[in-house]
Structure 1
Amino acid sequence: MASRRTKFYLDRQNAKYKGVCAGIADYTGIDVLWIRLGAAALTLLAQQWWIIAAYFVIAWIAEDKPQGLYHDTGDAEFWQGVRSNPKRSAAEVRSKLRDIDRRMADVETLYTSRNTQLASEIDSLR
């Protein structure tokens, strides 16, 4: 895929105005409602008016999210985890591959062993 999945994009599909808060929610994995409430609270209660200017700058600079960025349903959660902690994600992948390798080695050991009963069962399946 030509587009990068770890990049920030505006999410126009879930947008209320320009898609900045929805994009932040998609990027971080936090519910969009909490992002919108936090932005509104910072702007109104803490009187951080620069957030409004930053919102429009982000809406002007950021790209729209490409169609079909996440093909599978669990794909979005995976990429949000990669964004938040890439080392942990790499460790999880390594752990899964190590487990698959161990199971394949067990199968190979059983297949190449002198177990005649298992060999006859395997031959009967062919």
Structure 2
Amino acid sequence: MNSLRTKFYKDKANGKFMGVCAGIADYTGIDILWARIGMLVLMWLSGGVVFMAYLALGILAENKPSGMYADRREEKFWQGVRQSPSRTAREVRADFRDIDRRLAAVEAYYVSSNPRLSDEIEKLR
């Protein structure tokens, strides 16, 4: 597993204050607005404990590397890996089984005796 894409980073490019809420949103795959609202509610309910944790994360967490994901699809994939590695592995296996099934169908079509294809090949000779 690629540890660069599975660890928490603060995201200063999309962040407002220290990039912690943007990092949480990127890490979990939730919308950044919900991360910010959740953080405000937790700060209000906790009486300052969550604010101290927020500051600690803002100071200790590394900045998100630029160009970490090639595209949006890759970003969603890695968010899925972080959320549920076993489910992501099942999805990848299912994708490979589907590719293998389709490839076998193509192979069977072209390798089997196909009289129409044979006739077309003979016409070209």
Cross-structure match for 2:52:
53
Deviations 1:27-51 (A, max 9, x none): 001111111111111212x233111
For structure 2, the residue ranges without an aligned partner over 5 or more in a row are none
Matched, 1:22 2:22: yes
Which amino acid counterpart does residue 10 of structure 1 have in structure 2? K
Cross-structure match for 2:102:
103
Deviations 1:39-82 (A, max 9, x none): 111212x2331111111111111100000001112111111111
Aligned partners of 1:11 and 1:64 also within 8 Å = yes
In terms of fraction of residues, the more helix-rich structure is 2
Which amino acid counterpart does residue 70 of structure 2 have in structure 1? H
Q: Percent identity?
A: 52
CA distance in 2, matches of 1:21, 1:51: 12
SS at match of 1:68: coil
CA distance in 2, matches of 1:57, 1:26: 18
Scaled by the length of structure 2, the TM-score of the pair is 0.88
Decide whether aligned partners of structure 1 residues 21 and 117 sit closer, same or farther in structure 2, where only a CA change above 3 A counts.
same
Cross-structure match for 2:12:
12
Number of aligned positions between the proteins: 123
Superposition misfits of 4+ residues, deviation over 6 angstroms:
122-125
